Amino acid sequence: MRIRVDLSALRQTKWHDYAVRFLFGGFITALAGIIAKKFGPGIGGLFLAFPAIFPASATLIEKHEKEKKKSLGLDGSARGRSAAGVDAAGSSMGSLGLFVFALVVWQFVQRSSMDRSYRGDASMADSLSGSLADSKGIVGFDGEYCSPTTGEKPANRI
């Protein structure tokens, strides 16, 4: 498979297609933040992997392929659907990358918190209680405990 860049695809996309993507992307990002504040980071985090622009992109690909075939006097419905399906298959592979991204961020946060506790920023007791808390779904080794459902940080540390 040879990967190439085709800049002519940018000319096919109209300004309102870009506007729709901008609005969708911005809306979902803002919504993820609002949900995290209201229901806690546990629920809010789910929306960091929401297929925000997937429906818009799939529709756009289908439309472009249809238009291409139409300009040749052919019906491009099947071709359009097939192209959108191939794009969706690529996205399903991309979601594995998304999973690994989340895993790396999660591990990085855990380890940097542990490093802080080893440096003496938090006591060993804090680290141990953090580990126990983490197994129950509360992340943090540095005393910044927060509820997975509400995101609230208790006033008194364990």
Partner 1 sequence: MTAMIQSLFRFIIGGVIVSAFAIVGDVLKPKSFAGLFGAAPSVALATLGLTIVADGLAYVGTEARSMMAGATAFFIYASLVSRIMMRYKFPAIWVASCSLPLWLGVAGGIYYFVLVSA
The total of other beta-carbon atoms located within 10 Å of residue 77's CB is 13
Among 105, 124, 125, 128, binds partner 1 (CB under 8 A): 105
Tell the smallest beta-carbon distance from residue 133 to partner 1 (Å).
10
Amino acid sitting at position 48: L
**Choice between 107 and 124, CB closer to partner 1:** 107
Tell the smallest beta-carbon distance from residue 69 to partner 1 (Å).
15
Instruction: Verify binding: residue 16, partner 1, rule CB under 8 A.
Output: no
Size of the site for partner 1 (CB under 8 A): 91
Q: Which stretch binds partner 1 (CB under 8 A): 41-49, 67-75, 119-127?
A: 41-49
Q: Which of residues 61-100 bind partner 1 (CB under 8 A)?
A: 61-62, 77-78, 80-99
Q: What is the C-alpha separation between 127 and 121, in angstroms, rounded?
A: 10
Q: What is the C-alpha separation between 150 and 145, in angstroms, rounded?
A: 11
**Choice between 69 and 81, CB closer to partner 1:** 81
Closest CA to 149 of 37, 28, 32, 34: 37
Among 14, 51, 124, 154, binds partner 1 (CB under 8 A): 51
Instruction: Verify binding: residue 140, partner 1, rule CB under 8 A.
Output: yes
Amino acid sitting at position 145: Y
Instruction: Verify binding: residue 113, partner 1, rule CB under 8 A.
Output: yes
Instruction: Return the SS3 of 108.
Output: helix
Q: Let me know the angle formed at the C-alpha of 130 by 124 and 131, rounded to the nearest 5 degrees.
A: 95
Tell me the two tokens of residue 100: 């690994």
